[in-house]
Structure 1
Amino acid sequence: MNAQTFGPMSGEPVGPAFYLADEEHHADGGGTMLGFWIYLMSDCLIFAVLFAIYGVLGSNYAGGPSPRDLFELPLVAVNTAMLLLSSITCGFAMLAMEEGRVRRTQGWLAATALFGAAFLAIELHEFSTLIAHGATPQRSAFLSSFFTLVGTHGLHVTVGLVWMATLMAQVGRHGLIQANKRRLMCLSMFWHFLDVIWVGVFTFVYLLGMLR
């Protein structure tokens, strides 16, 4: 039987106690944030597997090009700077949100989106250059694991940009209501998570790859 609360005088049931507590919990956004943390942990596992695969296959060139033959570190460094700058502007957007400044929040989100779009454009340029030189995912296990790892991260950035544009429209229409603040916090966590993953990619794939 469901636990119920009763009126102090009539003794009639008011409603299931745990349902009321659950509604209050979700009204405060606790359920949303917990669910999003669980999602981020699952995403961590996905990237951990991709890093492990690259660690095993990253030196199998099959007589093809190696990282030293393919990677352009100055370009990758610029790409990394774009994503790190987007993390800073995302932080400024969250500060503006806490101050209740709608236009400023939207402005910083737009700057974040521009840096994120620049990151994607450079990454797509890198991919197209590699493919033009015959360094396709089918060429070797190294290239297969490289394209899978970096491409998965790029797909996440794309999803983040779509999410960002949607939230900018919602904030413009409804303002900084509690639901939008909660969504923006989730977006911020997601975006900073992608930055951390990219630092790992830059170090493990590009920097260490040039030392092999």
Structure 2
Amino acid sequence: MKIDNSLPLEYSTEENRLKIFGFWIFLGAEIALFATLFAAYFVLVNGTGDGPTGEELFQVPTLMLQTVFLLTSSFTIGLAIHAMRLGRQKAMVNFFIITLLLGLGFLGVEIYEFVQYVHEGATLQTSGFLSSLFTTLGTHGAHVTLGLFWGTFIILQIKKRGLTAETTNKAFIFSLYWHFLDVVWIFIFSFIYLKGMM
């Protein structure tokens, strides 16, 4: 395997560059998935039937807490990649751990929010609006959950093998995934929650 030392370690081999390119293609498919979920939501947003509306359900404190957790985690994963490029393995791992803890906090608030909705009579079967809301938020939450497991495995590999062309490539691809989830959250925040509160 030929390593190009003029490039960052995660890009240093042709295989690594192809993996990153392939992951960008995968993210294109993910964009299509979430675009479909948003389209379904916008079609069903007024189909509340006898159930509650977004204005009745959405609460600013939980929304802001989720947003702070996830957007801060985007910053810390950026710091992790920066530390990785400087060859500072301990700092990189620490920022990775902070990122995953923030992601876990986000999930905890989202689960709490879902439980509150159910207690208020808002379930998947209540209305078209709620079924599309739960599906969109649940799909994003499932992606965050996957990210928590994926990030944990990367931390374990880096602790075992160090910063190699292979481990840095995996960490960088993970960071692309995590940033993507944050971008999706900005759309959820803007077009589902904020619009729903108006």
TM-score of the two chains, using structure 2 as the length reference: 0.92
1:62-96 deviations in Å (ceiling 9; x for gaps): 12111111110221011101000000000000011
Q: Tell me how far apart the structure 2 counterparts of residues 28 and 50 of structure 1 sit (CA, whole Å).
A: 33
Match of 1:162 in 2: 149
Which residues of structure 2 form unaligned runs of 5+?
Answer: 1-11
The share of aligned pairs that are identical, in percent, is 41
8 A Cα contact 2:124 2:131, kept in partner: yes
Q: 1:28 to 1:172 in 2, by over 3 A?
A: same
Number of matched pairs:
187
User: Which of residues 33, 40, 46 is equivalent to 2:33?
Assistant: 46
Partner SS state of residue 29, structure 1: helix
Cα RMSD over matched residues? 1.2
Is the Cα contact below 8 Å between 2:123 and 2:130 reproduced in 1?
yes
Would you identify which runs of 4 or more consecutive aligned residues in structure 1 move more than 2 Å? 25-28
Tell me the equivalent position of 1:84. Answer: 71
Does structure 2 conserve the Cα–Cα contact (< 8 Å) formed by 1:26 and 1:32? no
Aligned with 2:87: secondary structure?
A: coil
> Deviations 1:25-68 (Å, cap 9, x if unpaired)?
96441221111111000000000000000000011101211111
1:64 maps to what in 2? Answer: 51
Q: Which structure is higher in RCO with an 8 Å CA cutoff and minimum separation 6?
A: 2
Partners of 2:62 and 2:163 in 1: CA distance: 38
Alignment partner, residue 10 of structure 1: none
**Normalising by the residue count of structure 1, what TM-score does the alignment of the two structures yield?**
0.86
Gaps of 5+ in 1: 1-24
Residues in 2 aligned to 1:27 and 1:53: alpha-carbon distance in whole angstroms: 40
Task: Give the Å deviation of 1:134.
Answer: 1.4
Q: Does 1:208 align with 2:195?
A: yes
Larger Cα-atom Rg: 1
